[in-house]
Amino acid sequence: MEVGEIYLVNFPFSDISTTKKRPALLIAKLSGDNNIFLQISTKSRTFTKFSINLLKSDCIGEIRFDSFIYCDMIFSLHNSLIIRKIGNVNENKIIEVKWVRRGINRGSNWEKANRRNT
């Protein structure tokens, strides 16, 4: 498993009662049986500040639709919930994800600076 790979995973609902098959982007490998992912969805949200467009042309593999990476939807997932690898994002997309994640981690100062630049 490598950062930038897209996996089909059994994504647990917040109450952990059921799961749904969803694509997810691996952003960090952890020691042990868990890894860190970001949610990928074909549905656009009204709050798009931390969303990144993911075009099929940004990917290699079985990516069927243009989608969105939600950089604020970060989660740890046990390896047993990974179904299979379905693709990779290109290096530019990995850099874009890291930049947005860095902004989320920095909080309000980044938000103020970002507002001035938009």
More confident residue, 23 or 112: 23
pLDDT computed for residue 38 by the predictor: 93
Of 51, 31, 42, 37, residue with least CA distance to 6: 37
What residues have CB less than 8 Å from 109, skipping those under 6 apart? none
Over residues 18-35, the pLDDT tens digits come to 888 999 999 999 989 999
| Mean of pLDDT values over 8-19 | 81
Sheet of 19-29, strand order: 51-54, 67-78, 34-41, 19-29, 5-12, 82-89, 59-61
CATH says 5-117 is which class? Answer: mainly beta
Over residues 55-108, the pLDDT tens digits come to 999 999 888 899 999 988 888 999 999 999 999 999 999 888 888 887 776 665
Give the number of other Cβ atoms within 10 Å of residue 69's Cβ: 25
> How many residues does the structure list for the chain?
118
pLDDT computed for residue 83 by the predictor: 96
pLDDT computed for residue 109 by the predictor: 54
Query: How far does the chain reach from its first CA to its final CA, in angstroms?
Result: 36
Query: Where are the chain's structural domains?
Result: 5-117
pLDDT computed for residue 112 by the predictor: 52
